[in-house]
Amino acid sequence: MGGRKRDFVQFRIVWPPQNQLATGSLLQRPPGRKVHPNAAETILDSSLDTKRYPTRFVPTSGLIAYRPVSRLGYGASGEVWKAIGSRHGSVFAVKILQLRSSNVGEVAWWMDTALREFSILQTLDHPHVVACFHGQGFNNDSDKIELFMDLYDTTTWDLIGSRPDLSESIDFLKMFVKDTLRGLAYVHHKGVIHRDIKPENILVKRGDGREWHFSLADFGVSKLLDHKTTFSGTVPYMAPEVHNHHLQTTAADIFSFGRTVLVIHKPKLLTDALRKDSLKEFTDARFVEALKTLQTVAPLLQHVPSKRPPAQAFYLESFGHCSEIASLHPKELRTVPERSLVGGFNLTPVVDAHGMRMQH
């Protein structure tokens, strides 16, 4: 058995002789296990000297050949395609970054950016962080870089666009917040700042006995904690310290996450503004209006970074104790206020929004 949840099984089919089928004799198996006589034997059951093979597609250091199926998305850093592996028939997503610029410095910058994303993703292993299992094209002879990742159904942005009813669902919003916070708490525990949290960068799929499963994706502008003050991300979701080129900590992701939750909850109010306003004119007032019906995220949108609760603390205050989350202390040392940061995850609409404006 293998896989992240030990739900992948390698087996060899063994057909009993016809005379055994006629008499109903059982194959030799461990005592106490009741199995149909025509069932396949797993390697653990078999008495044969059976060689173990990988229980899932594990790419080697060589090149992976694949056939593109359909384009899933595109952006400044390249395109993402659904693809099928030529050798194993595995289905996965491929992020492709073309390196065709005549500007040597630009090509070097993109290659360095892709290598940083790949290196960071290789250090992360969490159910709510998209898995990147292989990368290729980092040598000087390649005209493109390819990152191979787990395939998801869609982005949160596209999901609420096709299913506007979900924005009004408290259960959907809770699931989104819970999954994303788990991923953020883990990433911050690893000392990584995502720097571009938004609905388009949170992927969704169905499965595992639940309706939705959310995972953080697109670590193209992410970085390890340092003292750099680079301007990076998507402007409407940026934290004030990023706008002002100040020191950036994991608190910048918390601010972006707070705004992301508001966009999920009030997509029409905010997406209309995103279409009509220029990025420079997109002000806090748009989000203050959305806060009238969702006061829970107000602590995440404090303009002073130290006043924002870490993902770990916000999760525990909102959803109760979780041993996994309790062990994921953020990399930088931050003190959580003694008073309650949020009074549970209460999504009851608020009629009176007095006092909800963010502090400047």
> pLDDT at position 269, please?
65
Examine the domain organization and report whether 320 and 259 are in the same domain. Answer: yes
Examine the domain organization and report whether 142 and 178 are in the same domain. Answer: no
In a domain, 169, yes or no: yes
> pLDDT at position 348, please?
35
> pLDDT at position 122, please?
92
Q: Quick one: tokens of 140? A: 């000087």
Nearest Cα neighbor of 201 from 286, 275, 264 is 264
Examine the domain organization and report whether 75 and 43 are in the same domain. Answer: no
> pLDDT at position 107, please?
79
Cα 155 to chain centroid distance, Å, stands at 10
> pLDDT at position 266, please?
82
Binding-site residues from annotation: 95
Examine the domain organization and report whether 187 and 291 are in the same domain. Answer: yes
Q: Quick one: tokens of 182? A: 């788990």
In a domain, 134, yes or no: yes
The one-character DSSP state at 12 is E
Helix (H) or strand (E) run with residue 74 in it: strand 66-75
> pLDDT at position 194, please?
94
CATH number at residue 102: 3.30.200.20
Q: Do the Cβ atoms of 318 and 177 come closer than 8 Å?
A: yes
Examine the domain organization and report whether 129 and 29 are in the same domain. Answer: no
Q: Do the Cβ atoms of 147 and 24 come closer than 8 Å?
A: no
> pLDDT at position 125, please?
94
Binding-site residues from annotation for ATP: 95
Domain boundary among 149, 167, 189: 149
Examine the domain organization and report whether 172 and 283 are in the same domain. Answer: yes
- How buried is residue 301: exposed, middle or buried, by Cβ count under 10 Å (0-12/13-18/19+)? buried
Q: Is 193 left (phi over 0), alpha (psi -120 to 50) or beta?
A: beta
Helix or strand or coil: residue 242? helix
In a domain, 352, yes or no: no
> pLDDT at position 109, please?
82
Cα–Cα distances in angstroms (integers) from residue 280 to residues 234, 239, 243, 256, in the given order: 11, 14, 11, 17
Q: Quick one: tokens of 21? A: 């089928």
In a domain, 333, yes or no: no
Examine the domain organization and report whether 168 and 136 are in the same domain. Answer: no
Examine the domain organization and report whether 84 and 140 are in the same domain. Answer: yes
pTM of the model: 0.71
> pLDDT at position 59, please?
42
Q: What is the pLDDT along the chain (360 residues), one digit of tens a residue?
A: 445 555 555 545 555 555 544 444 444 444 554 444 444 444 444 444 433 333 333 444 578 999 999 999 887 668 999 999 998 889 999 999 888 776 777 778 888 888 889 999 999 999 999 999 999 988 767 788 999 999 999 999 999 989 989 988 888 999 999 999 999 999 999 999 999 999 999 999 986 667 899 999 999 888 888 766 778 888 888 998 988 888 889 999 999 999 899 889 888 766 665 555 444 444 566 666 666 667 888 899 898 999 999 999 999 998 999 999 998 888 763 443 333 333 344 333 333 332 222 233
In a domain, 286, yes or no: yes
- How buried is residue 100: exposed, middle or buried, by Cβ count under 10 Å (0-12/13-18/19+)? exposed
Residue-wise pLDDT tens digits, 248-291: 899 999 999 998 998 898 887 666 655 554 444 445 666 666 66
Nearest Cα neighbor of 248 from 299, 197, 195, 196 is 195
DSSP 196-217: --SGGGEEEEEETTEEEEEEE-
CA atoms within 13 Å, Cβ hemisphere of 157: 13
Question: What is the spatial distance between Cα 303 and Cα 313, in angstroms, rounded to a whole number?
Answer: 18
Examine the domain organization and report whether 82 and 45 are in the same domain. Answer: no
Examine the domain organization and report whether 134 and 210 are in the same domain. Answer: no
Q: Do the Cβ atoms of 167 and 264 come closer than 8 Å?
A: yes
> pLDDT at position 18, please?
52
**Which residue pairs from 284-288 have beta carbons closer than 8 angstroms and sit at least 24 positions apart in sequence?**
284/358, 287/259, 287/262, 287/358, 288/353, 288/356, 288/357, 288/358
CATH number at residue 311: 1.10.510.10
Helix or strand or coil: residue 312? helix
Examine the domain organization and report whether 207 and 265 are in the same domain. Answer: yes
Helix or strand or coil: residue 25? coil
* Number of residues that make up the chain: 360
In a domain, 358, yes or no: no
**Residue written as token pair 């959310």:** 214
Examine the domain organization and report whether 138 and 40 are in the same domain. Answer: no
- What is the span of the domain harbouring residue 144? 66-149
For the chain, the domain total comes to 3
Question: What is the spatial distance between Cα 183 and Cα 324, in angstroms, rounded to a whole number?
Answer: 11
Residue-wise pLDDT tens digits, 81-139: 999 999 888 999 999 988 877 677 777 888 888 888 999 999 999 999 999 999 998 87
In a domain, 320, yes or no: yes
Cα–Cα distances in angstroms (integers) from residue 229 to residues 76, 103, 226, 271, 334, in the given order: 21, 25, 9, 28, 19
